[in-house]
Amino acid sequence: MPAAAVPVAPPPARRPPLTLRRGVTGALVTALVAALLALVPAPAAEAAPVLLSQGRPATASSQENGGTPAAAAVDGDPGTRWSSGFSDPQWLQVDLGGPAAVSRVVLRWEAAYAKAYRIELSTDGTNWSTAHSTTTGAGGTETVPVTGTARYVRMHGVTRATGYGYSLWEFQVYGNGDGGPVLPGGGDLGPNVHVFDPATPGIQAKLDEVFRQQESAQFGSGRHAFLFKPGTYHNLNAQIGFYTQIAGLGLRPGDTTINGDVTVDAGWFNGNATQNFWRGAEGLTLNPVSGTNRWAVSQAASFRRMHVKGGLNLAPNGYGWASGGYIADSKVDGQVGNYSQQQWYTRDSAIGGWSNSVWNQVFSGVEGAPATGFPEPRYTTLATTPISREKPFLYLDGNEYKVFAPAKRTNARGTTWANGTPQGESIPLSRFYLVKPGTTAATINQALAQGLHLLFTPGVYHVDRTIEVNRANTIVLGLGLATIIPDNGVTAMRVADVDGVRLAGFLIDAGAVNSPTLLEIGPQGAAADHAANPTTVQDVYIRIGGAGPGKATTSMVVNSDDTIIDHTWVWRADHGDGVGWETNRADYGVRVNGDDVLATGLFVEHFNKYDVEWYGERGRTIFYQNEKAYDAPDQAAIQNGTTKGYAAYRVDDSVNTHEAWGLGSYCNYNVDPGIRQDHGFKTPVKPGVKFHSLLVVSLGGMGHYNHVINETGASTVPAGTSTVPSTVVSFP
């Protein structure tokens, strides 16, 4: 269902006008008003927008003939014009000579005008943002209000209104020539990014120092990234604690080799790894000392572009519990020892083998993956991943930092780097604004308006207004689990309905004042086709409570079509500070309104009502992990009309086509173990709606499910206090 409307206070009632007697009373009032006005300083006059484009250099995609050059549209002469070739699309742009705060564009069309066009802004002439778009251009003289800082302004014609080209008598840009200081791109990575090369002294000591700080700092403020330049490193054991990222700075994993281990274990929590959250490893080749590397993690812990020349053990020392994780674009030469991992998702990788299945192990596009065996062994395997595009990453090209943005793949299988250099685009760090602790939301938005990408260095960022990502192909990349906290109930980040935005590598932590949403992908009603260049959300985590009181009505809303959600953990905290049924109230986890949205690795837990709701058509989910809210005080608190409990994953009755593979929901109603859920999953029964490999589990008999999906699947009650899943192989 749509988010509840926020009540809007009515405007204050206007006082009825005073009826004054003419004569003495009126004269007295007039005198008093005049005297008071004399004491009030006049408001400072604001500078009127000025014409910035006249006589400036202009270029165009084409011109009809030698008498209609681009310069004729900015010469101030209403009798000269620019006209283009007779085809779509075409463009005309002007260089204002420096950054300007532009406020309007005036188009004085000749008879050959644009039916559909965009006004675009750029600070560098390469990266453009759309300031105005229309499909109903009327010709004649059009005045278009725009907002933004730009040096270059462009009319991008999409559809001609006539059989001729585009023709402008004048293209006029108005604004304030003093656009304020231009924010620089690039720069240093800040004190919490630790960069090593093979000759750096004391690498192990630095790794150990940070690990001592971060090992048990589950809700601390420390944030760190270890970056290893290409080369070979010997005798290292990089133990990775909370909010710590380790990564190689090569374009391929083989560029950076550690003869040693990258280790996650659970000694800090008595051998239980179910709280080993918020960390990551990327872009390294490992030669483990013992032949097997230990990576005992749970949610929000990614393992990307890694090559393990040996085995990979996903369990803690002593084989205590672990609660799920994620591998992508990686190769493990030996066996992956799953052991006690309750659930896991592996995508577009290569493995030498896999052991054990516990509850829910899902593979897509993985060479060497076990065949589907669900319900026993609990493997669900897809030969390929329908659509994938790997997470952007920082790397060194010689001595220059760049960000690599991998290309989209369809029906992917195996790694992107097995056959050489991965496909994609390299972007210099000079085109990124490096966000550092203390940076305001206003500055962040200014950088985005200038056309810069964002690189959040490790730290915690409070924002008092929404971060607005409005330009196509913008990258927002975090290092070291950079954390964004919205203040005063704002939405932390909002993405426009544009192509190819990439969000990756950061945590959004709800503030104490309720936010209606924390992350929005596209505005309500978004309908643009992004199939060729989708927006991606990767290793973006959302948390409500735990580090302190936090509230949000809906955590993530996806309105844009074709969005890819690739590994997210959206978590209403069940432990830590600021935790309670109403203290960290959060009714809905993820709501998908867009069509053709794909989720690969979706972890959503503990929301007061629905964890996931899906309204868009042709949605697909590959792997879903959920726990219902532990702290429901009683049955009445989760009663959903005549239904007991809110489903962990609900497809709306309006949806005709949807498919999902490998879904698990677990209940642990530890306040009132007598609570019953009618089902874990709810869906319309239609030929185009299909589910594969579902299970529900009562953890130790703390609450129970009556069914798995709708009214299908056995109750968990017969298992009593035994933690035994109830499964459904396929539905309907």
Would you name the residues annotated as active-site residues? 627
Q: 29 forms bridges with which residues in the sheet?
A: none
- Rounded CA gap, 121 and 105, in Å? 11
The answer to whether 479 and 225 are in contact (CB under 8 A) is yes
Integer Cα distance of 643 and 483 in angstroms: 37
Among 478, 496, 301, residue whose Cα is nearest residue 392: 478
Tokens standing for residue 159: 């559809």
* DSSP state for residue 378 in the 8-state scheme: -
DSSP 3-state of 704: strand
| 720 closest CA partner among 706, 704, 707, 709 | 704
Q: What is the DSSP letter of 641?
A: T
Specify whether the backbone of 174 is left (phi greater than 0), alpha (psi in -120 to 50) or beta: beta
Closest by CA position to 571, among listed 529, 526, 527, 602:
602
Around 315, how many Cα atoms within 13 Å sit in the side-chain half-sphere? 17
- Find the distance separating the first CA and the last CA of the chain, reported in whole Å: 24
C-alpha dist (Å) from residue 462 to 132, 279, 438: 30, 21, 8
3-state secondary structure at position 271: coil
Cβ atoms of 303 and 330 closer than 8 Å = yes
At 552 the three-state DSSP class reads strand
Helix H, strand E, coil C: the string for 656-675 is CCEEEEEEEEEECCCCCCCC
User: Position of tokens 């004491």?
Assistant: 39
User: In the structure encoding, which two tokens stand for residue 342, read together?
Assistant: 């309750």
| Number of other CB atoms surrounding residue 169 within 10 Å | 18
Q: What are phi and psi of 327, to 5 degrees?
A: -125, 135
- Which amino acid appears at position 248 of this protein? G
